[in-house]
Amino acid sequence: MKNIFSKSLYLQGLRKIRTAAIAMAIIIIAVNALVPIICIVDSQFDFPGMNRSVQIIEAPVAAPAGLGMILFAPLLTYIMFSYLNERRASDFYHSLPQKRICVYISFIAAILTWIAATLIASAILNAILWGIARYYSVSVLAMVMSTVTYFITALMLVGFMALAMTVTGTAVSNILVFILFALFIRAFGLFFLYGLQEVAPIFNVTNSWLGIFDFDFFLPLRLFMDFDTYNRELGFYDAGLLCYWAVVGILLLVAAGFFYHRRKSESATKSAPNQIMQHIYRIAVTFPFMMLMMFMILLDENFESYHLIFIVFAALVWIIYELLTTKKIKNVLKSAPLFLVPVLLSLGYVGSVYAARGVVYNTTPERDEIVSVQMDGGSNRYYGTWDAAIVYSHSVEDPDVLDMVSVALAETKETLHMTSSERYQQGYTGQATLTLELKSGKKVTYNLVSRFEFYNTLVNSDDLYALCHTLPPDEMIDSIHVDSLSLREYQNAIWAAFREDYAAMNDQEKAGYYNWNNRSSYTMTYIYINGTYRDRNFHGQYGLDPQFTPKAYALYMEYHNRENPPLKGLENVRDTLNAIENPENHLVSLEIIGTDKTNASIFTEDIRVIKEFLNTLEIDKHLIEYTTAKTIYEVNTYVDTDSANYYMVDENGLKQYVEVEDANYYINNTYYVTLSDEDIKMYYEIEKKYQNNQKNYETETVIVD
Amino acid sequence: MICAKNITMQFDDFTALKNMSCEIPDGIIYGLVGSNGAGKSTFLRLLSGVYRPKSGEITVDGAPVYENPNVKKKILYVPDELYFLPQSNMRVMANFYAAAYEDFSYDRFEKLTKTFGLDPTANINTFSKGMKRQASTILALSAMPQYLFFDETFDGLDPVMRNLVKQVIYNDVMERKTTTIITSHSLRELEDTCDQLALLHKGGIVFESDIQNLKTSLFKVQVAFKERFDRAKFENIEMLNYTQAGSVATFIARGDREAVAASIREKNPLLLDVLPLNLEEVFIYEMEALGYAFKDILM
């Protein structure tokens, strides 16, 4: 242990990068804290009648940390190992009485300590702040896993930078080789992948092992792309992917340690440790542009006219790289003949793509070779429906399905020469990526087109039908949410009641329920669930209805009215309106919807109508009686209590609505009440009365900067 | 004891050291002289474990240096181009050295800092070149290594400070029997400092000797006779260089000074002067004897 880690060097390492590390800590902790602080401040502006439900923060809870790490992890590494770029500094560190690997490990440990400390401090502060925020509940798992995800991101980037710095010796070459390792190698793989997919569209290469090159697998880029998803449940916590990234990060650090151990002190100030590596670097930075040119040719046959531009561009990159790293024009001239290498390599790329295509086309399986088929649903991280989670997680052996796939395979090969629109016109509307398991045990993934509707066929296959039409088991459900209810026990109870309702349905009723659930334009409320089935995330949305789900519906009404008492709430609205002196200066609306759609919807913004209706209505008679009411009315009220300065009638009698966003203090609530036909009739009479008396009001919206 | 056997070191196409061998006994100050590019710094970096030789072997106290912390902790290398941690002061550097060298003496550090009159809390970046040299010497001596390697260490020091640095190095060698190697391209710089001197040229030691021997074993003789004479008159004397103008001959003789003088006196010269040589002159003649032109090596 003493030979591979030195506490004193570790402490010196912590000191060495402390300025940048403290800056990192301040920026990341402060920016991460902003979101909960904003929520805390926002929650201070509650006012009577305002109803908020608790928002559950699932993931990722500290997105800025991820972005911060993309910048700071390589920066800290660069500062720590910058002595490798300076001869005298390199000599100094190499003369220390420690093994090289000991220096390396101690310094890497110091970098990772700063990163971990920053992330942990940020997570703890965030947890405290979210704890203070009144309407938010943060998942501890989300907090921990986000922190782990960002740490692994940092680990990878530290690894990439350390590796780049141990095999180069100048700042420019450090950065270029860092980019080369982090992005270009993956880009090489992707060019091959998509080139092959272009010339052999039937073959889904991203689903083979080559899919590892997909940028979706590159955590830093994913963090960057998903930066705005702070409040969404994106499924960052794919344990398999996290492990993969962690292993990649560790392997990078091990590789960097190996090169650090082998590194010669005299490599400092040299762009590459030797001539061969310099050749490799200059070819590597130029090759992507040549490859991109070839890739564009593969995509578009008319691209030939741009060849020269790409070649000139690649040559410029070659020259600039040489000048930046060696600073000698004679080196550019000396290396010029080697420019042929990337040219030849790019030709080799095209050749290999076409060779791979030949292999793909000649090896499509016959029907009797296919044992099972499974539909590809993309990344496990994305939330699909429950039945999608099943379809994408199970292979199907139903002979009818296998026949269909075999036909689809043949049809796909036959239609390869067509464009996608031609195929569509010919009736080949079904498209899917299917993985076939062959008798040999081999699995092959194809992009198929067919006249068949693949997904529905699989849902209704013998293998999957029963499973798809069953509710997800509770142990697979991660969260349950019911609109407008904040207490978790209410939500769980409603889900349990819904489960009972569902169990009581026969197959025909279930089919009817699914049809209603999928197509109904009006549903009072939904139960939303999120869960995980075989590592695949799913969500469900189940509407509540007195006919299909009577128990759950009744319970929902009870809980909703318990949290939003209609009597008190509507009385508040009425009293608020009565207290308003200049009604025309306020934005108020009333919407009444019959939940069984037996009555026409009502919507008005005329405060006089609303006031008179609520004053005439004997509100206390309209308390909900849960399931006894045949028709329940959803009454949505909107009362802007602070709009006097922004809503006025001008001299022409025109209503001017001046929108000032931060002045919107409003009561916006939904109440469920019972109304009789007489009540509705009364409403229309009131409305008619005011329509007859109405001045010629028109509404105009004026947005003030 | 330091032992280098057939060391070869190459940088790409350039051979810095070629089959170099030497043995440096403990407790001496060993001077290494050579022109720029002779291989002095490379040799010190090899001795410090910064470089690994392409071939050959370097041992200190019988153990290889490269990647050997047990040996490296006995060694401190003060390079020609000094390096200090960014934005550090001498105290920070002392802490760093103390972390790396377990025998680091803060007492000595404080004492030497006072002796040299340096402010240990001042940013080293604000130091002059000479002050940085002093700082590095203080830090090196405070680390209490058994082996101290100074590369061009007197560069940039004024005469007073040069003498002070020399003095503290002497003291260290005297008190702790430290083995010290000092490189320089100036022979005069090392003349009064080293116990042993080696001349490095094109990656190899071309000449190595004890300084005391070196200075006393060669001397200049000026002699004149009444009769005509030539070099054959002194065939019993080992001489390195002989010139004659008329009846006056001048030559460099090797051997016992008194014995040579007595042997010449027996021949009844009109004039006889036996003059001491400075180290540079000794080197010039020794090099010529070896077939080298001294000006090619050190000038």
Report, in this order, helix, strand and coil percent for chain A, each rounded to 5.
60, 15, 25
CA of B199 to nearest chain A CA: how many angstroms apart? 24
Residue A341 or residue A520, greater confidence: A341
Going by pLDDT thresholds of 50, 70 and 90, the confidence category of residue A661 is very low
> What is the reported pLDDT for B13?
81
Q: A439 and A414 in one domain? A: yes
Closest alpha carbon within chain A to B81 = A88
Q: Judge if A542 and A652 occupy the same domain.
A: no
Give the whole-angstrom CA distance, residue B137 versus residue B165: 7
Encoded amino acid at B263, one letter = S
Residue with tokens 């001077």: B31
Give CA separation, A331 vs A212, A270, A340, B16, B240, in Å: 37, 13, 16, 23, 49
Which phi and psi (to 5°) does residue A31 adopt? -65, -40
Q: CB B213: neighbour CB atoms within 10 A?
A: 11
The count of CB pairs under 8 A between chains A and B is 59
CA-nearest residue to A95 within chain B is B50
- Torsion-angle region of A390 (φ positive above 0: left; ψ -120 to 50: alpha; else: beta): alpha
Q: Is there a single domain that holds both residue A244 and residue A117? A: yes
Question: Do residue B72 and residue A97 have CB atoms under 8 angstroms apart?
Answer: yes
Q: Same domain for A499 and A585?
A: no
d(CA A370, CA A225): 38
* Domain-embedded: residue A177: no
Q: Give the separation between CA A431 and CA A451, rounded to whole angstroms.
A: 9
Whether the complex's predicted ipTM surpasses the cut of 0.95: no
Cα separations in angstroms, B209 against A164, A469, B192, B279: 47, 98, 14, 11
Residue A629: pLDDT above 60? no
Q: What is the pLDDT of residue A94?
A: 93
User: Which of residues A468, A493, A511 is at a domain's end?
Assistant: A468
> Quick check: is A506 in a domain?
yes
pLDDT tens digits, one per residue of A479-507: 888 877 777 888 889 999 999 999 999 88
Q: Does A100 touch chain B (CB under 8 A)?
A: yes
Last residue of a domain, one of A264, A298, A326: A264
Number of domains in chain A: 4
Q: Mean pLDDT of all residues in chain A?
A: 79
Residues A412 and A523 in one domain: no
Residues of B in contact with A265 (CB under 8 A): 45, 50-51
Residue B12: predicted pLDDT: 79
pLDDT tens for residues A242-297?
Answer: 888 899 999 999 999 999 999 988 888 888 877 788 888 888 888 877 887 777 77
Q: Give yes or no: residues A511 and A659 share one domain.
A: no
Residue A664 confidence class, pLDDT cut points 50, 70, 90: very low
pLDDT (average), residues A697-705: 42
Residues A669 and A582 reside in one and the same domain = yes
The tokens describing B278, both together, are 């400075």
Q: Cα separation of A546 and A543, whole Å?
A: 10
A517 shares its domain with A496: yes
Q: Which residue of B has its CA nearest to A12?
A: B96
In a shared domain, residues A514 and A458: no
- Position A426 in a domain: yes
**What is the SS3 assignment for A107?**
helix
Euclidean distance between CA atoms B14 and B37, whole angstroms = 10
Helix (H, G, I), strand (E, B) or coil at B133: helix
Let me know whether A587 and A452 are in one domain.
no
Pick from B264, B284, B287, B286: which is nearest to B274 by CA?
Answer: B264
B198-208 per-position pLDDT tens digit: 888 888 888 78
Domain enclosing residue A506, as ranges: 474-554
Residue B75 is inside which H or E element, if any? strand B75-78
Any domain includes A612: yes
B51/A16 CB distance under 8 A: no
Please indicate, yes or no, if residue A269 is contained in any of the structural domains. Answer: no
The band of B159, judged by pLDDT with boundaries at 50, 70 and 90, is: confident
Minimum-distance CB partner of B49 among A8, A11, A95:
A95
Q: Are A415 and A562 in contact (CB under 8 A)?
A: no
Query: CB–CB of B99 and A9 under 8 A?
Result: yes
Does any domain span residue A323? no
Of A377, A394, A376, A383, whose CA–CA distance to A531 is shortest? Answer: A383
Domain annotation covers residue A675: yes
Q: Measured between CB atoms, which of B11, B67, B100 is closest to A100?
A: B67
The pLDDT of residue B158 is above 70: yes
Residue A228: the pLDDT is: 47
Both A139 and A60 in one domain: the answer is yes
Report the pLDDT averaged over residues B155-162. 84
**pLDDT score at A534:** 85
Give the end of a domain, one of A238, A264, A290: A264
pTM above threshold 0.90: no
pLDDT tens, residue by residue, A331-361 = 788 888 888 888 888 888 888 888 887 777 7
Distance to chain A for B79, nearest Cα, Å: 8
Domain assignment of residue A314, yes or no = no
The pLDDT, as a whole number, for residue A206 is: 65
Beta bridge partners of A443: A437
Q: Which of B11, B68, B96, B147 to mutate to test the interface with A (most CBs of A within 10 A)?
A: B96
Set out the domains of chain B in order of their start, with CATH numbers: 2-202 (3.40.50.300), 214-298 (3.30.70)
Interface test with A, best of B61, B72, B82, B91 (most A CBs within 10 A): B72
A159 shares its domain with A260: yes
pLDDT band at A225 (very low <50, low <70, confident <90, very high): low
The helix (H) or strand (E) run that includes residue A310 is helix A307-326
Radius of gyration of chain B (CA): 23
Give the gap in angstroms from C-alpha B95 to the nearest C-alpha of chain A.
9
